[in-house]
Amino acid sequence: MSNWSLPAKGGHMEAQDGIYYQNMTTKMLEERLKKNDVLLLPVGSTENHGPSAPYGEDTYLDTRLCELVAERTGCTVAMPVWYGSHPYHHLGQKGTIMIPENILADYIAYVLAGFWNTGFRKIIIVNGHGQDYVIPLAIHTFGKKWQVPGIVLYTHFWNCAGSEMYTKEKGGPYEEPFVHADEVEQSWCLELFPEFIHMEDAIKVDKAPLLPPGHINTSAEDGAGPIKWYNAFGSCGMECICQPEGVIGDARKAEGEKAKAGVEKTLDYLTKLVNDILEKYPAGELPPIEKMTQRRREDIEAVIKGPNAPGGRHIYTLEY
């Protein structure tokens, strides 16, 4: 496990310190792309997380992780997608902002295209919210529409952390399985952005399953059942009816120390992923054109040059 020094307070969103794309000038960006053309794209949500945690929790989970990886690797972080998609059982929950799946997928696909056109052709989407059924659609929408060489990968912090998201009986640090705004998720918040958490207001709210156990997997995908939680309708009660408080589980049990190993495992993996991509394809290099597209080579070479280079064109000149 690497030695990570986690921030005691505050992130980088308003700092011009070489972390966030939106805070860079064109000159800064040109210099960055010569050295490192990997972009981290945090995709989060705005939703009810109860009386002790912020509505932007899922997004801050992403951004704080991405900031730390960027500090260590020299990659760039995009300002996050603040509004996400939600499964049926989130419908109507007060404070939760729901974006339809097809709209979000198209939106992210065009964000990917814009960054590709800018020069970031290696993009890692880091998700902190349960919209795993949408982001793959966005990636393949981008790929099919523009058919350009590049790398777009998607991961979730709970997949990176693996068994460090599990309960003690399965080798993890937690007493109860991860669901939402509970012991697990709030522990991560305490480790990554404690300034936003009010443990004095933490509560416990019971789950509302509608099926016997052994079928539906948990949020941490710990093998509790073969059916992923988002591949189900009618497996649990609606939050606005059963958990209007915005918590499912016991947030009172949250401790930052419980999340420490999982956070560091996630940071280690994301750092390795960035470095492995750059080792295989250094800044400015891409996977072979002939292996990724059957578009005319001259068209692909032109958009790779970019819209401002002699003989170059922008990505939107490619036909769908």
Entry field: residues in the chain: 320
Compute the average pLDDT of residues 214-226: 93
CATH of 21-287, one of 3.30.70.1400, 3.40.50.720, 3.40.50.10310, 3.40.190.10: 3.40.50.10310
pLDDT score at 7: 65
Q: Scanning the structure block, which residue is given the tokens 């794309």?
A: 21
Task: Taking residues 284-313, report their average pLDDT.
Answer: 97
Instruction: Express the helix, strand and coil content of the chain in percent, nearest 5 each.
Output: 45, 10, 45
pTM of the full structure: 0.97
What per-residue confidence (pLDDT) applies to 4?
87
Please say if the pLDDT value at position 1 is more than 70.
no
Q: Residue 193 in contact with residue 302, Cβ under 8 Å? A: no
pLDDT tens-digit profile of 115-140? 999 999 999 999 999 999 999 999 99
**Which segments within 144-221 are labelled E, that is strand?**
151-156, 204-205
Structure tokens at 255: 């401790």
Whether the per-residue pLDDT at 57 is higher than 70: the answer is: yes
User: 9 pLDDT band (50/70/90 cuts)?
Assistant: low
Contact 233/205 with Cβ under 8 angstroms?
no
Interval 270-288 mean pLDDT: 98
DSSP 40-90: EEEE-------TTS-TTHHHHHHHHHHHHHHHHH--EEPPPB--B---GGG
Q: Which residues face 156 on adjacent strands?
A: 127
Q: What is the DSSP pairing of strand 76-77 with strand 38-43?
A: parallel
Give the whole-angstrom CA distance, residue 30 versus residue 282: 15
Neighbouring residues of 273: CB distance < 8 A, sequence distance ≥ 6: 124, 153, 155
Q: For the chain, which residues make up each domain, given as ranges?
A: 21-287
> Which ranges in the chain belong to alpha helices (H)?
26-35, 57-73, 101-118, 135-146, 157-161, 183-192, 239-242, 256-280, 289-292, 297-305
pLDDT per residue over 135-191, tens digit each?
999 999 999 999 999 999 999 999 999 999 999 999 999 999 999 999 999 999 999
Short-list 124, 112, 125, CA closest to 43: 125
Residue 50 has pLDDT above 90, yes or no: yes
- Give the mean pLDDT of 269-297: 98
